[in-house]
Structure 1
Amino acid sequence: MSDEQKWLSDSGVNTRLCHIGHDPSSYHGFVNPPVVRASTVLFPQASGMETVTQKYTYGTRGTPTTDALCEAIDSLEGSAGTILLPSGLAAITVPFLAFLSPGDHALIVDSVYGPCRQFCDTMLKRLGVEVEYYDPLLGAGIEALMRPNTRLVHTESPGSNTFEMQDIRAISDVAHRHGAVVSMDNTWATPLYFRPLDFGVDISMHAATKYPAGHSDILMGTVSANAEHWPRLKEANGLMGLCGAPEDSYLVLRGLRTMGVRLAHHDRSARAVAEWLEQRADVSAVLHPALPSFPGHDIWKRDFKGASGIFSFVLAVDDPAKFKAKSHAFLDALRLFGLGWSWGGYECLAVPVNLNDRKIRKAPAGGPVIRLQIGLEDVADIMADLERGFAAAALVS
């Protein structure tokens, strides 16, 4: 480790975010790395094309721009290597294809990201992989589900939409005793608030679309691996010819510079809104791991350094026949909140949650579930907008 790297490793998180991933002295002193657009890379001699010794060989195998982002992510994750992919979903599917083969058994958490479930139930099954969903609250109890052919255990904590907390260390220890790879979708926390590899995870996945990019204008996924599993991940990615675009990589790297201060603001505002919602009679439950009332709060408090800006709440509705009408009335009345998929940008978003695909962790009782992304707007304005929603829902008879 160089003196520069040692200095950065001992610095605070925001200092590191400002300086990781690029050395200005390596490119004429410019603060940000250049955007290198490339397909063809020239070799000085024909012999060099047969025995490759130069760093760059073709655009899909990396450029100075994409390398700068990968180095920054590795610094945050503590990983041996990182690949860039065109979307967060690709960041899940590529490792699955890299580490699973026909006849293998894969354990997938039941509170998984919806498109991941769709991939498992279609592509993986067509490829001869047996998929089994497990309760996110199993922890070390996952031992009972392990088989001789279990090759991968996929985790996501908190879970999508309902935010169940998993005991990642306990699950990883069991999986490794049985020779299985452990992967984790860590998009909610980012490596600032949770570092999966420190808890036994082998493959850490992120939708960089969300908080790393931070402005609702980039699609990208990152996958980081420990030293044992990095060669196979890198090989699979190269064989599939998937890569992140240099312009997008540049913008995600730029987003990283402010991710710490943005996340802190998202966290403060989301907790304030969640605490306010918890006191309302027209809310039957708030699903936010940082709330002491949340069932998984103790795990969150033990393992995580913070919370992000996305959580759900259950709108109090007695009659199931009115769930959809009340939910839609609430959402349609919002003005500050946009109605749109994704999250992690600077703006507030709200969506109705459909949990019909769940096998084990069914929808909470008490009303329809609504997911909120709390943006960077002022909390008073956010609450005023939600008041409009509650007023509109109350008018539905």
Structure 2
Amino acid sequence: MKKNSQTALIHAPRKAPQYISTVQPPLFRASTIIFDNTDALFNRHWTDRYDYSYGTHGTPTTFTLGDNIAQIEGGTYSLLAPSGLSAINLVNSCFLSQGDEVWVADNIYGPNMEHLRNLQKRYGIHVKVYNPIDASTFQPTDKAKLIWLEAAGSVTLEFPDLTSLVQKAQAHHMLTALDNTWGAGLAFNAFDFGAAHLSVDITVHALTKYPSGGGDILMGSVVTRDETLHHQLFRMHAIQGISISGDDAAQVQRSLASMQIRYEHQSQSALQLLEWLKQQPEFSQVLHPADEASAGHQHWKEICTQQHSAGLVSVIFDPQYNLQDIRTFCDALKLFKLGFSWGGPVSLVMLYNLKDMRALEHSHLKAGLLVRFCIGLEHPADLIQDIENALQHLNKPQLE
């Protein structure tokens, strides 16, 4: 059949062989996926492990990344979302209904709390808050459906008693969801942890951080071992039209090979900063799970068997320093850039007022404004020097 030149541009007569062996897997960009015949169209089901039917359901590029993330996390099934928060919202919208009780740690990722408060206001979901370092404050009722765990906690980095929390949740037939962005699937296996070999039901991971590693891609994942839970999540994933770019998936896939090396390097750099920060009189408290004085240190030591600790360190300034003082300090930093997130090559800093972030009283936290350092790939000696130089810009009060 002779084709018009315009048709020939679309249906090219020549095509190179489709499969070769390369270091990186090929990139598939697709919305429409072509079926070979009507049998292929109708003899398929959305629950098939690899349902190649439309771009939002998956392509070899996105399925490959999803499989690798599931392996890193210690799970079996994975779904990808446009951001970590999108992945969190997928879990909440999938499993929470009117009248359900959801428990969250007081140090949970702030946007997750905001989303749950919105669901409470609009749909009658009951949000209950527990103290992350006191498992006894988690008191579920017969309406309890889901508990959110975070290890370590957002900003203040407390490491919870995961064993007690998960055991209590299981006794009340609750779903357990862990925001595993800090641990990244490398600090511990959320599906087989502790002496009791416990498992959470679901992990959520902001692939924006360590898996991406470049500070330039937004993505999230939801991982499970349970096929029924996966199908529930996958159905909601499809209904909500959640999808990611094949180009972004390929970029994250490319970064996975160096993820553990980067994670361990940033963890070690954070430990070096930790020891130096503890000696500085401007800070009344330094927060890091590996420090014996930090809340939950013993739980971190028991769960994180390789003693991984991510690249985050928070400090609380002596209360004699006010907000303007802390802003002056942050603005004076040169290597640390002011920005959210972590896990990229550039070190970041962010300042917080805990009074605006916590619903409960926390006696383990000293008074004062908090600054979080997110360690990048710079040499730790240079980062220490950067902080030391910035401290010189402070108006030094007489510290007792």
SS at match of 2:373: strand
The answer as to 2:73 corresponding to 1:81 is no
Counterpart in the other structure of 1:6: none
TM superposition shift of 1:81: 0.5
Q: Which of 159, 180, 186 in structure 2 is aligned with 1:165?
A: 159
Secondary structure in 2 aligned to 1:179?
coil
Structure 1 distance, partners of 2:282, 2:389, is 13
**Partner of residue 20, structure 1:** none
**What displacement does 1:52 show?**
1.9
Deviation at 1:358?
1.1
Residue 284 of structure 1: SS of its match in structure 2?
A: strand
| The one of 44, 59, 63 aligned to 2:59 | 63
Which residue is 2:105 aligned to?
109
TM-score (norm 2): 0.88
Percent identity for Structure 1 against Structure 2: 35
Cα deviation 1:336-373 (Å, max 9, x = unaligned): 11001111111111010132131115593242100001
The 8 Å contact of residues 325 and 396 in structure 1, kept in 2 or not, is answered as no
1:333 maps to 2:332 = yes
Match of 1:307 among 306, 309, 322: 309
The aligned amino acid for 2:372 is R
Do residues 45 (structure 1) and 46 (structure 2) align?
no
Matched, 1:240 2:232: no
3-state SS in 2 of match to 1:153: strand
| Farther off after superposition, 50-59 or 100-109 | 50-59
- Equivalent AA in structure 1 for residue 176 of structure 2: V
> Matched residue of 2:152: which SS?
coil
Larger displacement relative to structure 2 (45-54 or 67-76): 45-54
Match of 1:176 in 2: 170
CA distance in 1, matches of 2:99, 2:209: 34
Cα distance, 1:230 vs structure 2: 1.7
Q: Deviations over 1:226-258 (max 9, x none)?
A: 215222112211221102211111111111110
Q: Closer, same or farther in 2 for the Cα pair 1:125/1:201, shift >3 Å?
A: farther
CA pair 131-396 structure 1, distance change in 2 beyond 3 A? same
1:254 corresponds in structure 2 to 254
For residues 236-290 of structure 1, give each alpha carbon's deviation from its aligned partner in whole angstroms, at most 9, with x where no partner exists: 1122110221111111111111011111110111000011010111111100001
User: 8 Å contact 2:51–2:58 — kept in the other structure?
Assistant: no
**SS of residue paired to 1:152:** strand
SS at match of 2:148: strand
Corresponding letter in the other structure for 1:45? N
Deviation at 1:127, TM superposition (A): 2.0
In the TM superposition, residue 395 of structure 1 has moved relative to its aligned partner by 5.0
SS of aligned partner of 2:261: helix
CA shift, 1:48, in A, is: 3.7
Kindly provide the CA deviation profile for residues 283-334 of structure 1, in whole angstroms up to 9, marking residues without a partner as x: 111000011221311111110130111120011233xxx4201111110111
Which residue identity is paired with 2:312? Answer: I
Residue 188 of structure 1 is aligned with which of 182, 196, 203? 182
Give secondary structure in 1 for the equivalent of 2:186.
helix
Q: TM-score, normalised by structure 1?
A: 0.88
SS in 2 for 1:393: coil
On the 8 A contact 2:158/2:294 being kept in 1, the answer is no
Partner of 2:182, secondary structure, is coil
What is the CA–CA distance in structure 2 between the aligned matches of 1:131 and 1:177, rounded to whole Å?
A: 20
- Residue identity opposite 1:75 in structure 2: Q
After TM superposition, list the pairs within 5 Å mapping 1:136-285 onto structure 2: 136-139=132-135, 141-142=136-137, 145-198=139-192, 199-227=198-226, 228-285=228-285
Gaps of 5+ in 1: 1-25
Distance 1:379 1:109 in 2: 32
Q: Which has the higher helix share?
A: 1
Question: In the TM superposition, what is the alpha-carbon distance from 1:98 to its structure 2 partner?
Answer: 0.8
2 CA distance for matches of 1:86 and 1:132?
28
Q: Contact conserved, 1:190 with 1:211, CA < 8 A, in 2?
A: yes
